[in-house]
A and B are shown apart, each in its own frame.
Chain A
Amino acid sequence: MIHAVLIFNTSGVPRLTKFYTPLQQSSQTLVQKIYSLVSSRQASLCNFLDAPELESFLGQTDDNGEKLRVVYRNYATLYFVFVVDSAESELGILDLIQVFVESLDRAFENVCELDLVYHFDEAHHILSEVIQGGLVLETNVEEIDRAVQEAAKARKESFASANPLSLGGGGVGSRGGTLQTPLHWITDRLTGVRAR
């Protein structure tokens, strides 16, 4: 089962948090804990790690007594993190993160961090098309996109698509100054270089 989906930026500021298991402690401390686990990892390490220390947050291990795992990918300024138990394959979850990011990209056209900040509700909706109650609902990007489009026809255009020339510009906020950097998932895929 998927216990949590978190998106935070490279400074540890949360952009989306969704928990499928009741939290035993505050979500802020959990995000910080996971940020500290993930942000220090180098590219020479796998995109997943055992995190038994998260038990006290999510309050359980699975039936086999196996520990929780953190599966993550880093796209540009954002970390996409899934906390799962051993019923889920860590390699399958990596694929699922890619599906989620592609779906966000379809919805926002060249998705960037700023889209998640201003379209907080939309990001939640897209996530709910991919995962329901900690279980995978849909993995077909076309289908997810269709559902999202149907539900929100009047959605405003993303900042990146509306202002292609201003990419990388703008002032620097203290919570991170690269909010408009596209995630470049497609480039990564075409060149065969996996996102971290």
Chain B
Amino acid sequence: MDFTEVPVTSERKSKKKKSKKAGNKRMSEAENGESAGVEKKKSEEKMENGESSAAFPPTFSVSEIKNKQRRHMMFMKLKQEKRKQKLQLRKKKKKERAALGDKAPPKEVPKTIENQRVFDETTVDLEDEEIAFDEGTDEFSAYFNRLTNPQVLITTSDRPRGKTVRFCEQLASVIPNAHVYYRRGLALKKIIPQCVARNFTYLMVINEDRLVPNGLVLCHLPDGPTAHFKVSSVRLRKEIKRRGKDPTEHSPEVILNNFSTRLGHTIARLFAALFPQDPNFVGRQVATFHNQRDFIFFRFHRYIFKNEKKVGIQELGPRFTLKLRSLQKGTFDSKYGEYEWVLKRHEMDACRRKFQL
């Protein structure tokens, strides 16, 4: 079955469809007696392989090889070549740097999406009086002026299943003064006045979909804003590797990272008001809300300072990711409430370098 390969497709830039057709032609020409559909798996062009390793036609690309194994091998070789070249380049540059010593040009900073972030005019300037006044007298002022202690009510959507129930229990162990109640199909608008009467400050509703928690409604109680988040990537304690023992009753410290815009500040205050104002440093527990690219990552750790510069941390507790979908002024009223911010995907997600939080 040796036949000389007529370079039919190698001249033009072939997309996959074209090369399939060309492959078909070759099959019928060669009269192999094999079915046309199986061409990809059969090794019809041994010659081609030999040829290609010897001399590449100028417009050859790896994707033209029909044989999957050979194509894979060629691709791997290509990648290794590239990697070798990159390493060589790097070594050369390093040598040059070492040779120049002090006169070397400064290291270039790689471009990341966070670096390239579009300047947001709503970024909070901490010295701004108007914003300071606005924040000082907003709905969270009672908490930040130490007039109330947080009391959190955690519930779910109706009829929760295993993972969500365990998630709620673990959340309740992480947030002090939190109580889990079964939903019983009650309407949120009716639960809220009852919670207010019993001095709760937060209502947390975890929505479940297909056995997994996927949404969180966080409502600050007397008349405060309601935030609706999308929850993803929930890992319960069992699923966390190398974790420490269960968290204790001590109030954790709270770390809020990277909330820079006005909306970010409001959300950060929302999270901060979940935990009591005075953390028990004896407990050495810390809850972190880290905002990156509009995703908020929640982690719960126990730390220990080995000496002044080294810390060891153990992850306890659940971990999950949140993304803000809407912030509504007033308590939960999704139909008639006024929204302070709504995620409009097609308008806001159009630019990859623009973030809202």
Bound pair (A, B): no
